[in-house]
Structure 1
Amino acid sequence: MLQGIVARRALLGDGAWHDTSIAFANGLIDTLGGPAPAGALDCGDYLVLPGIVDLHGDAFERQILPRPEAAFPLPLALADTDRQLVANGITTAFHGITWSWEGGLRGRENAIGIRTALARLKPRLAADHRIHLRWETHNLDAVDEIADWLATGHIDLLAFNDHLDMVQARLGDDGKLRKYAERAGLSLAEFRALVARVEARADEVPAAIATLAGHARAAGVAMASHDDDTRAERECFQALGCTISEFPRTAEATAAARALGSPTVFGAPNVVRGGSHCGAP
């Protein structure tokens, strides 16, 4: 059994990087900074981190649907996801399950299926799996059911998402729109008709957001706004008790979040890449 490791870049409890040794005893960390145990693994310049908590992960979608019309059974896909998580040092995963008006991969049936499969698989999974429900705010038909999920403890983090504008911007481009239609299991004509029906109920969205925010507060569930663009948008969500700003898209929204004391969430891949994949500052 491995007795310890030597690390030049270990992240410790003070939040700083250390050149140190870590000794184990009975499978647990025993001492830090003492003499390196015999046979200790030299980690070189690799990062030595505590278990990573992934607050927003949707990689499981690739395991479920690696390409259109090639879906894998949920238990198999989620077990594969679990192995990938722990292999990359992620010990707690908040799965970003999208419950959208689109249907298909991001529809009601899939959200229920993932939640049910994770509950059944729990004794066999290595990571701690949580539900980060990404509610598309124009999905008004799901409000009552999501409120029930909140009341019964099935949601660990609720995010308010609105990607309708992104879809609208692609309505005139069959090539770009096809990705959304295929994910929903619809033809291009059917998907455009669906978007029109969703647009027609836009006036009902603010009240629905306030309703679900109230249910989340009552259940003690943390909330995040997604893709904030303006200070006013962040302040509006903050007033509803939605204190996390996830992926703010402008410097204005980010500054507003910081001024309000709201934690901001950014994508780890973008940190590694050195910038946003969508061009946000």
Structure 2
Amino acid sequence: MIINNVKLILENDVVQGSLEVQDGAIRTFAESQSRLPEAMDGEGGWLLPGLIELHTDNLDKFFTPRPKVDWPAHSAMSSHDALMVASGITTVLDAVAIGDVRDGGDRLENLEKMINAVEDTQKRGLNRAEHRLHLRCELPHHTTLPLFEKLVNRESVLLVSLMDHSPGQRQYADRSKYRDYYQGKYHLTDAQMDRFEEEQMALAAQWSQPNRQAIASACRARDIALASHDDATHAHVEESHQIGSVIAEFPTTLEAADASRQHGMNVLMGAPNIVRGGSHSGNVAAHRLAALGLLDILSSDYYPASLLDAAFRVADDDANGFTLPQAIHLVTRNPARALNLQDRGVIADGKRADLVLAHRKGEHIHINHVWRQGKRVF
């Protein structure tokens, strides 16, 4: 396959040219046009590596499209997968939560349903994108470690994150915000919320630290990438670094982002934060971190189409000095390196032919086609 007449977004440059694919890999590329009649005309669009998504909760939406509605697993997986590739995402880590704050986390049946769907469809070659797993471990629960131990040896697990959403911790250092969020989410009376908050604080005091140490140790032993989550202070970051975290997911403050970088961790922020112009929960804005050179990876989090949109917005913002290749690294090369996926994330000879062809339509970046290992999937 030859893709002609495209702006190739390379590691350090953008060049007008063509690219050739053979046996699922990039064979060569050139700053010239192919004269072969079978070459596909890219019509002057950008050709960039397939996007790599490290943290998306999108799968849940298709398994439970409405409260108390359980959707058939393979239908849910197919719809989720289609949205991923339509957003330019060719490698996706589907995040599944272990240790739910409301039900105590005892949800192995539902977890198995989702995980089995991811693994079965991937094994059978039914998915357009490549799907792996991200285990999100809510630390303040007695069920978290047993569930983690049942799942961590699955071959599809590439990333584990450690979360503590208990009152007074990290994202909810301001306990009034904790009350506002959970009281609104679960429609609790003041008295019910008081009891819920007390229960969560007691669980955190008993389980957070033992679970943090045990899960981190298991990840180090298995060489699984570890991520912190919602760190807010230098002390949080120091703790995350000491247990081996390589990714800092959604640091909530400039202090935490800066400390994460000083400790060699990749700072990951939400692409919706970029698209919306700030955090919906009042935390540090991703564009501010970009302007200070403290942004390494973007994740679509809850909105898949935000990923490529955000990368181009970063490149368009003169305040931060990102070139277009550097901005594209946020959603391709950098997440690949964080997971040690050496075969993808850049346009280079021998790398996987995971590719996205996109054009700018006014203010919008429109995805025309997507290929995974040379096979067109969108």
In which range does the TM-score fall when normalised by the shorter chain?
0.7 to 0.9
* Alpha carbons 1:151, 1:215 under 8 Å: kept: no
1:117 CA displacement: 1.7
Out of 211, 228, 231, the position equivalent to 1:228 is 231
- Are the equivalent residues in 2 in contact too, given 1:6–1:22 (CA < 8 A)? no
Query: Does 1:69 pair with 2:63?
Result: no
Name the structure with the higher helix share.
Answer: 1
Instruction: Give the aligned partner of residue 142 of structure 1.
Output: 144
Q: Distance in 2 between matches of 1:84 and 1:133?
A: 21
1:140-191 CA distances to partner (integer Å, 9 max, x unpaired)?
Answer: 3221231242245453211011223368646755xx546633xxxxx73697
Using a 3 Å threshold, how does the CA distance of structure 1 residues 31 and 201 change in structure 2: closer, same or farther? Answer: closer
Aligned pairs for 1:90-129 (under 5 A) are 90-99=89-98, 100-103=100-103, 107-122=107-122, 123=124, 124-129=126-131
* Residues 235/178 of structure 1: CA separation in 2 closer, same or farther (3 Å cut): closer
CA contact (8 A) 2:228 2:247 kept: yes
Q: Quick one: which amino acid aligns to residue 132 of structure 1? A: H
Q: How far, CA to CA, are the matches of 1:172 and 1:77 in structure 2?
A: 32
Change over 3 Å in CA distance of 1:65–1:15 after alignment to 2: farther
Please tell me the residue identity of whatever aligns with 1:63.
Answer: F
In structure 2, distance between residues paired with 1:87 and 1:20:
24
Pairwise CA distance, 1:16: 3.1
The 1-side partners of 2:73 and 2:188 are apart by: 27
Q: Corresponding residue for 1:23?
A: 20
1:145–1:59 Cα change, 3 Å: closer
CA distance in 2, matches of 1:172, 1:251: 24
Contact 2:5 / 2:33 at 8 angstroms: preserved in 1?
no
Q: 1:179 to 1:263 in 2, by over 3 A?
A: same
Identify if the C-alpha distance between structure 1 residues 105 and 126 changes in structure 2 by more than 3 Å, giving closer, same or farther.
farther
> Residue 199 of structure 2 is aligned with which of 197, 200, 207?
197
* Structure-2 residue corresponding to 1:250: 253
Deviation at 1:118, TM superposition (A): 1.6
Asked if 2 retains the 8 angstrom alpha-carbon contact of 1:90 and 1:127, the reply is: yes
- Structure 2 match to 1:214: 217
Larger mean CA deviation between 229-238 and 65-74 belongs to 65-74
Alignment identity in percent? 28
Write the mapping of 1:5-16 to structure 2, written as runs, cut at 5 A: 5-8=4-7, 10-12=8-10, 14-16=11-13
Asked if 2 retains the 8 angstrom alpha-carbon contact of 1:225 and 1:242, the reply is yes
What is the identity, as a one-letter code, of the residue corresponding to 1:22? L
- Native 8 Å contact 1:171 1:177 kept in 2: yes
Q: Does the residue aligned with 1:188 lie in a helix, a strand or coil?
A: coil
1:239-275 deviations in Å (ceiling 9; x for gaps)? 0112211111111111111111111112233334443
Greater RCO structure (CA 8 Å; 6+ sep): 2
Check conservation: 1:98, 1:107, Cα contact below 8 A. Answer: no
Question: For structure 1, which segment, 113-122 or 162-171, has the greater mean C-alpha deviation from structure 2 after superposition?
Answer: 162-171
Cα distance change, pair 191–87 in 1 and its aligned pair in 2 (3 A): farther
Kept in 2: contact 1:143–1:212 (CA 8 A): yes
Q: Is the 8 A contact 1:101 1:107 kept in 2?
A: no
Q: How many residues align structurally?
A: 270
Which amino acid counterpart does residue 103 of structure 2 have in structure 1? G
Unaligned runs of 5+ in 2: 286-378
TM-score, normalised to structure 2, is 0.63
Q: Distance in 2 between matches of 1:258 and 1:188?
A: 39
Deviations 1:2-48 (A, max 9, x none): 6423223x322x2433333223456654431232444532343x442
* Equivalent pair of 1:161/1:225 in contact (CA under 8 Å): yes
Is the 1:98–1:106 contact (alpha carbons within 8 Å) kept by the matching residues of 2? no
| Residue 82 of structure 1 pairs with residue 85 of structure 2 | no
TM-score by length of 1: 0.83
| Structure 1 gap segments, 5+ residues each | 182-186
Q: For 1:87-143, what per-residue CA distance to the aligned partner results, in whole angstroms no more than 9, with x for missing partners?
A: 222111101111223239994332222112222222111221111011111123221
Other-structure match for 2:185: 180
